[in-house]
Structures are given as structure tokens and as C-alpha cells.
Amino acid sequence: MKQFFLSVALLSTLLFNAQEKRPQNWFNLDPTTDKMNGVGTERTYQELLKDKKSTTVIVGVIDSGVDYNHEDLKGVMWTNPKEIAGNGIDDDKNGYIDDIHGWNFIGGKDGKNVDGENLEMTRLIRKMKPKFEGKTEADFKSKEDKKDYKLYQELKVDYAKTTEKFEGAFNQTKFLYEGISNLNKNAKEQLKAEVVDADVLMKFEPKDKSDKQMKMIATAMMKGGQGKNLDEVSEQMKEGYNQFKTYVDCGLNLDFDPRNIIGDDYNNPNDRNYGNADCKGPNSFHGTHVAGIIGASRKNGIGMDGVAADVQIMAIRAIPSGDERDKDVANAIRYAVDNGATILNMSFGKKYSWDKKVVDEAVKYAESKGVLLMHAAGNDHVDIDVEVHYPCKKFEEKGEASNFMDIGALNWQPNEKIVATFSNYGKKTVDLFAPGVDIYSTVPEGGYKDASGTSMATPVACGVAAVLKSFYPNLTPQQIKKILIKSSIKTYKGQKVLKPGSKDELVKFEKLGKNGGIVSMYEAVKMAEKYSKSKT
């Protein structure tokens, strides 16, 4: 599941918590010189990296797809040097035809693509129902069957609660979207206005209770920065409406299964050569936004600046609008590793896992090849020490991946509000926190927008990791992880902050993550420099 706008908590935070506008480019600003909770990108380039040489780092973005023709991304996209575009031949013999900028593991050979998908719980219930429905635990003899029976019962309860939650969210966003769209139409007609901003809306005289209510809501939303006018507010509501509609129509629909589009042998985890070359896909908002945060062209005078200055973005499409499939995630990791990526951004996650073993094997493969995995902690404001957020660094059998980091999200507002209200947390699991609220980045078709989520925090941290790898190429994933953690800013250690998901519960910052630290590019580069000198 893409970790953006995909929890009820996050939607309500974004739509109804009016707040002042975030500072421009805040995630690249510095806590010391700018008094902002950013990672110090600009300060680091100016003071520490000005005269240093870098080597290009390939960063794999496993996501919904990337708009590789975006004006701020086309200059930093990875291009397969051994593949000839459009000739229909697997020139480099890697099993993937015309993989110029990456690969799409959720598409068919005929060019069709999966967009909406089931949640994993939906797929598991559909799979287990024929065997367990209408039975009791006493009907099964083996420990494995009894275990699966209990899981099936848990899934049904969770499915019912989730359905109620998302149907409620869908009805809410539908009500608001239709109401604000109607208000926009009526206000334009009454006031003879092409655009209705807050000042124009003040003059509008509602004719019914609906318009009166929507006028109050829309005014609050514009005041809170959720749009400059009713066109923008309506478009934002449309995005929420469409996403929750996808949940209802696809995610929780037991009769919906789009896997036939792909045409693979789904039950064979070793079946890897499927998909198509469309690594942008039908809905690449999320992946394009992530890619921009990591490495949008710096200092080109347009749009925004990514964190890393010398990267190539490899686009691997494996994350639909719904829960990703373990097989696709595993194959995406392997593809990226085999084609030269040394850092992977994984801004996705889910509550259940169909085949954790196949993902564990891919993570171990990446570990053996010296590839760092940066993973979003998730947006449901839960303790992921207790509620596992897959994929995870702990292996199913035993042990833990040394090349895997989980990243939580920070707000740009200081003090007790510093942790994003939606961010998952975990004293044993979340390695670090990074900026993840109101992050301005690239979106498809040449656009730029703010977005929030641990999905945005992870590419910020990933960009910092890429800078370390770029300027200090001999660093291993384990060394980069160690440097990021040890160099993290501990300003908030010992201070009480609002616990994600609560209105007024305060907890010490270090209770939310195992290091009580905030990613700092400035301090990480200083430490990497000392580390490299000590090794020469």
C-alpha cells in the first residue's frame, strides 16, 4: 500500500486541521542556521561538499511508477545502457524487454496495467474461505491448520472493521467533494466569478443549508492552506474521494481480482520474467513525488531541488492502489539489485503478508550485494513493534536484516508538534525520523504539489543516504545505517511530544523510535568524512 493519503487518520489530518503554511523547501533547511526541522541539505552542500567530487549513485524507487519525462526528473533518470529503446528485443538478456528506465511488475505483456488492487486481508480471506468457513477449530487436527483457522477468524473481524472504517471515510469524502463542487458552481454563477477564492466566497449568499455548511468548511480549508480557491479545494477533495472509492470498489471487494492482467504463475515465487516496460503506469503521483524528493535536478531554476545531487532514479513499478503483492516486491528488489541500484526507496507497506519468506529472501539477496533498503514506517499512528508493518527487517525464521531502515515522519512545526500526527512509531523498530509533512515535490505531467506521509519522510532519508554513498562510495549499507543513526540530531531527546494519533497525550520523543534521532545530512557527512579518513 502506498503510504500517502491512505489512512483515515491521515486524511482527516490533512483536510480538517487548519494550520499555517509550511516554509518553502523546509525539508532541505537546517535546524541550526534556519531554525527548521529539515536535514540541512543546502548548508551541507555549501559548507562541507562544495569542492568534493562525487560518483553517481543509482537509487531504485519501488513504487506506483515514475513520470520519467517530468522536467525536473528526466535529467536524473536511470537509462539502461545495454538496452535499445522500442525494438522489442531483450538486448541485455536480463529477461526484461525494453527496460529503459526500469520495469513494471504489475502490468501485462499486452500493455495493460493493474491500478486498483485488493488489500492483502481481502486476498487472504478469499484464499482461506473455502477451507475454513463454517468450520470450528475442532474440525482440524494439525497445528498448522489450527493456526490458519485462528488467522482466518482474525482476518474476518479485521475485515469487518476495516470495511466499516473505509466505507465511512468514502461517504464522508463523497459528501464533501460533491458539496464543495456544488458550492463552487453556485458561487461562480451567483457572483459571476471565474475563480472563487476566500475573499470572493465571503460575498456569496447561500440559498440552502448545504451551501451554508460547505461555505464554512471551504473557508476553513482555504485558511488552513488546503487550496487557494474552490477549484483547488474541490480537486483535493476529489483525490480523497477517488482513493477511498478505490478501497471500496477494489481493496475490500472479495469478488475483484485483477491478477489475470499480468498473466504470471502467481503461485510460483520463482516466476520472475513478467510485466512490461511501462514503469510510469496509469497513476504515478506517489512514485513521481518520491523520486523528486530524492533527486529532482538541483539548481536548474525550475520546480524544486531534491536532496541528492548526483543520482540516477531507477523506476520499478510494483505498488498498486491497494496492497502490494509479496512476489512483486521481491522481484522488484531483485531487479533493482541486478541492474546496479545500491539504495532502494520503499515507501509502501501493509498489515498482512501473503508470502513473507519470498520477500525475506530478496532482502537477504540485497544484503549480500551491498544494497541499502529504506522503508516507510507507515501512516496509521500505531506502534509497529506490536502491529507488524510489512515488509519488515525481522526475518520470518530468525535474525534481522542489517541493510534495512524504517523511517518515521516529522512535522515542520517544532516542539510538541514535531512528530507527524499520522506517523507509525516503535521503540524497537523505527530507526529514525525525517521530514514528512507538507513536502513539495514533483507530480506527473510536469506538476508540483505538497504531500504528506512517511512515504515522503523515507525519500528524504534515502536522499541523505545517497549523498553519503555518492561522496564516500566505499561505505557499506551497514556503515551508512550506522552513520545516519549515530549522527542524527538528538535535540528532542528527553522532550515530550504529542503521541501520534492522540489529541493531548505527551510522550518522550525517544519512546517513539529506538534512537530518539532526527536525520541530519550535515552531521552525517561530517561523520562520514571522519570515518573515511580513519579507514585510510
Catalytic residue set: 249, 286, 455
Q: How far apart are CA 218 and CA 185, in angstroms?
A: 13
Amino acid identity, position 446: G
Q: How far apart are CA 165 and CA 536, in angstroms?
A: 57
Q: What is the secondary structure of 311-364 as a DSSP string?
A: EEEEEEE---BSPPPHHHHHHHHHHHHHTT-SEEEE-B-BS--S-HHHHHHHHH
State how beta strands 343-346 and 57-63 pair.
Answer: parallel
Amino acid identity, position 472: Y
**Which residues, 6 or more positions from 165, have their beta carbon under 8 angstroms from its beta carbon?**
8
Q: Any idea how long the chain is?
A: 536
Q: Please, are residues 29 and 38 in contact by the beta-carbon 8 Å criterion?
A: yes
Amino acid identity, position 333: I
Residue 289, judged by CB atoms within 10 A of its CB (0-12, 13-18, 19+), counts as buried
Grid cell in block for residue 482: 550506522
Q: Please, are residues 382 and 407 in contact by the beta-carbon 8 Å criterion?
A: no
Rg (CA), the chain: 23
Q: How far apart are CA 525 and CA 54, in angstroms?
A: 13
Between CA 115 and CA 118, with CA 116 as vertex, the angle to 5 degrees is: 135
**Which residues, 6 or more positions from 530, have their beta carbon under 8 angstroms from its beta carbon?**
none
Q: How far apart are CA 327 and CA 159, in angstroms?
A: 23
> Where on the phi/psi map is residue 25: left (φ > 0), alpha (ψ -120 to 50), or beta?
left
Amino acid identity, position 256: F
